[in-house]
Structure 1
């Protein structure tokens, strides 16, 4: 009997030697399965991206942002070294030192199935002029390398507000499970084709303020088509030029963009340079006065008071037409682009006003010991009928 009890204990685990009913075994197994499944569901819910609690809430020392890989980072808060080894994972950890980054780090949603590889995007930085330069550079990079370009949502919303021809889709039309390799434009352009194709297995994110005039100027006709103003901006610009013409005959419109206010601090801090003065603008206007005696200078500026005080007309050949409305920058740009020729000082806004115009362009040079990135890029592009005049 004792031996029988030992056998029953060893086989069935009970203490009195009686055989455990089969129904109890089934209930135990079922109970364990239910508990395991419940734990799995709870864990899945907590790790999913449809949480009901706020994932942006700061913890004591750090904040972790749970972000599906199919989404692209809003790059405004990333300052990575220019190397391709950096990539954005699905969970980002930041030091709590700057809680304001939480708002900036929100990611944009995606909605349709994307390609398996070769997705290319650029930073969405700056205002209208910067965004246009970034767009044109992205377009040209994708054309050169055979990749699929997508825009940051902010860039897409801004450009489609003013232009008809933009062909690059927004990242909200993207649904990819990939990481984004980040690098600046200089590093990316130094890579060989094979290296670019290799990193294209994941998304490629061009950081900084990527603008390469020499790159997209090769496709000038296509780029101009991308930036066709919407009808009401064109009509408003033409109506304004017709009004300014008055009774003048054979008028040659010369757009003049004078940027001052916010650019002074940038030039001083970055290049130890100062704003150009009236000497530069007078020299540039005299060039057109001599070449086209019927020139009419259409001035747009963020500092019209300075313009009225320092720009000296001859035979009433200067008119002040810009609206200085920062909320509607396309109005002044469309007006300047409708002119025959252009005088600009510096900056991407002035550049695009002149580039879309298509005539002769005079821009300020020698304003600092080292040229600005845009000046260097323009010189490298060797655009015909563009010339630098000394800024002082």
Structure 2
């Protein structure tokens, strides 16, 4: 008795035959598949071309072939077919709906061996630009595509975007993967009780292709195997960027190497792969779990490329392979970037604005705030520089940093971008609408050395107030620093209450942050503006003001780049002044702690410099400065 599949196929053929269909060239194959005979004499120069690829190697190569065929069909309107082996391998990982988007060569044609295929190189720029390939050709595409051109980079960006929507994992594998990740998360929280359970986990997939590829890489490209230093560096990169709540999932075709060579002092590395390269169920699980991660660490081979593409996020790797968003390529330092095309930028393009600050953290925060508000109000494209991101990353969360793109990460060819130094007052950008399109402006760099900010203008004062309000919601401190600050303030409050038993223990403490910028800034203030350093009388007067206004339950937290001066000159008869700063201007961790601590206060005492401006702005409340007491930073 024939199978139901054979019966359906036969019924379809009977219907086609009785209806006089033009598709009467279909026949039934012995295995129950419907196929048709390719009629060579009917195929001519007006017929849609036929493309197919016979990939060599494992699953990753077959997905690559599938992706190229899919995208070529979308863009050229040709007929494409995957090999049966491609279908079989991908069928172990992806859903039936995925596989149905493309016919199988051996299933479509009964006489596939008789089709006169011409082998040509997979030269993407040529196929996209030369229209003669779109009709009248039966082609078997081979070898690697022509990489390194913008046409190819654009094409790959469209291809990867297509695959992210086309490739769907099998439901039963996803359920196993989610169950595994849930168990791993529970183990991780058990090992790290100090990390708050509500902190979201960042998952990093590691794929380390070794075994046969090591020999191939050496013989073909002279590449030596990646050693443990590569993975240590990559993991440290993600830990530094995303904090402690990071889990690494390691998959390899040589799991033994990983277990023997990769130490796990942070207890955040989990070996989840099985290393069974011939077991398609295990391979399917490995690919699916890596693709569920937020970011990736890859080595070599197309398997790792595809898990990184499907995972999305950042890709830490050693080679230049395009795996990012539209028209993006991958820079050698493992950042995704795109090529700025000068000839495509015109008077209708949104203006680009960049600020390249000099100096320390406070100046970079000021640049960040200006750029953010310019984008919000004018609709221009803005970019911070890498140094701004680096300095801010020590203090603020990854969510904060993702608010604005980084110039050096966004563009591969920043040296080719025709920036124009803008040394006019910034109010012109705010009031003149012509600046909103067609301009590429560098507002501050080492040549200009200053940004003209005329604070006396109504427009600029309003702008400052707006970006100050914006930054209070945009700038979010790193959770681990906030926790350390909270612990410190709790200890100080306990000491204060012990020293002042007559103060009502239920009384709320008013915290006053003091920032005293000295060292190199004293010389700058004198030479540039004729300003002398603040002496102890200024701080005594400011502290007395707050004591009189808020009563006895007041604590002053003193931070400076010269802590020694404060301890020597500021007496503490009220026992309410605590010297909490470290004065280590080169220690990024200490700087981050100082800024976060001052920003948690209720009010501020400000001297000079942008660091103190920003701690006062984020603290809110009153600001005591050399010209009086204000509620707004714009009045300083």
| TM-score bracket, shorter-length normalisation | 0.5 to 0.7
Residues 311-350 of structure 1 aligned to structure 2 (within 5 Å): 311-326=570-585, 327-328=587-588, 329-350=591-612
Q: Which residue of 1 aligns with 2:195?
A: none
Distance 1:385 1:204, change over 3 A: closer
TM-score by length of 2: 0.39
Cα distance, 1:188 vs. partner?
6.2
Deviation sequence 1:15-60 (CA, Å, 0-9, x none): xxxxxxxxxxxxxxxxxxxxxxxxxxxxxxxxxxxxxxxxxxxxxx
Aligned pair 1:237/2:499, yes or no? Answer: no
Deviation sequence 1:123-143 (CA, Å, 0-9, x none): 231110000011101111222
Q: Which residue of 2 aligns with 1:112?
A: 338
Task: Tell me the distance in 1 between the aligned counterparts of 2:486 and 2:469.
Answer: 22
Question: Counterpart of 1:133 in 2: which secondary structure?
Answer: helix
Cα distance, 1:228 vs. partner?
1.0
User: Is contact 2:623–2:631 with CA below 8 Å preserved after alignment?
Assistant: no
Task: Give ranges in structure 2 of 5+ residues lacking alignment.
Answer: 1-334, 498-504
Relative to structure 2, which stretch is displaced further, 182-191 or 151-160?
182-191
TM-score by length of 1: 0.61
Aligned pair 1:196/2:435, yes or no? Answer: yes
Deviation sequence 1:249-306 (CA, Å, 0-9, x none): 3321111111211111101110122101111111110000111121111111122222
Aligned pair 1:147/2:380, yes or no? Answer: yes
Deviation sequence 1:96-142 (CA, Å, 0-9, x none): xxxxxxxxxxxxx9812569432111123111000001110111122
Residues 91-102 of structure 1 aligned to structure 2 (within 5 Å): none
Task: Tell me the distance in 2 between the aligned counterparts of 1:341 and 1:313.
Answer: 19
Task: Tell me the distance in 2 between the aligned counterparts of 1:362 and 1:191.
Answer: 30
Task: Tell me the distance in 1 between the aligned counterparts of 2:450 and 2:581.
Answer: 27
Cα distance, 1:194 vs. partner?
4.0
Q: Which residue of 1 aligns with 2:421?
A: 182
Task: Tell me the distance in 2 between the aligned counterparts of 1:158 and 1:224.
Answer: 18
Task: Tell me the distance in 1 between the aligned counterparts of 2:395 and 2:609.
Answer: 19
Q: Which residue of 2 aligns with 1:305?
A: 564
Relative to structure 2, which stretch is displaced further, 228-237 or 305-314?
305-314
Relative to structure 2, which stretch is displaced further, 310-319 or 114-123?
114-123
Of 225, 237, 252, the residue aligned with 2:473 is 225
User: Is contact 1:362–1:387 with CA below 8 Å preserved after alignment?
Assistant: no
Task: Give ranges in structure 1 of 5+ residues lacking alignment.
Answer: 1-108, 367-378
Deviation sequence 1:179-199 (CA, Å, 0-9, x none): 1111125166268534314xx
Task: Tell me the distance in 2 between the aligned counterparts of 1:342 and 1:191.
Answer: 30
Cα distance, 1:220 vs. partner?
3.3
Task: Tell me the distance in 2 between the aligned counterparts of 1:273 and 1:339.
Answer: 28
User: Is contact 2:356–2:367 with CA below 8 Å preserved after alignment?
Assistant: yes
Task: Tell me the distance in 1 between the aligned counterparts of 2:488 and 2:564.
Answer: 21
Q: Which residue of 2 aligns with 1:284?
A: 542
Of 168, 172, 177, the residue aligned with 2:404 is 168
Task: Tell me the distance in 1 between the aligned counterparts of 2:336 and 2:439.
Answer: 16
Distance 1:119 1:190, change over 3 A: closer
Cα distance, 1:202 vs. partner?
4.0
User: Is contact 1:252–1:295 with CA below 8 Å preserved after alignment?
Assistant: yes
Cα distance, 1:385 vs. partner?
8.6
Distance 1:357 1:252, change over 3 A: same
Distance 1:221 1:302, change over 3 A: same
Task: Tell me the distance in 2 between the aligned counterparts of 1:354 and 1:286.
Answer: 18
Q: How many residues align?
A: 264
- Whose RCO is larger (CA < 8 A, sep 6+)? 1
Distance 1:386 1:289, change over 3 A: farther
Aligned pair 1:295/2:532, yes or no? Answer: no
Distance 1:280 1:296, change over 3 A: same
Distance 1:192 1:319, change over 3 A: closer
User: Is contact 1:216–1:223 with CA below 8 Å preserved after alignment?
Assistant: no
Cα distance, 1:160 vs. partner?
2.6
Aligned pair 1:259/2:517, yes or no? Answer: yes
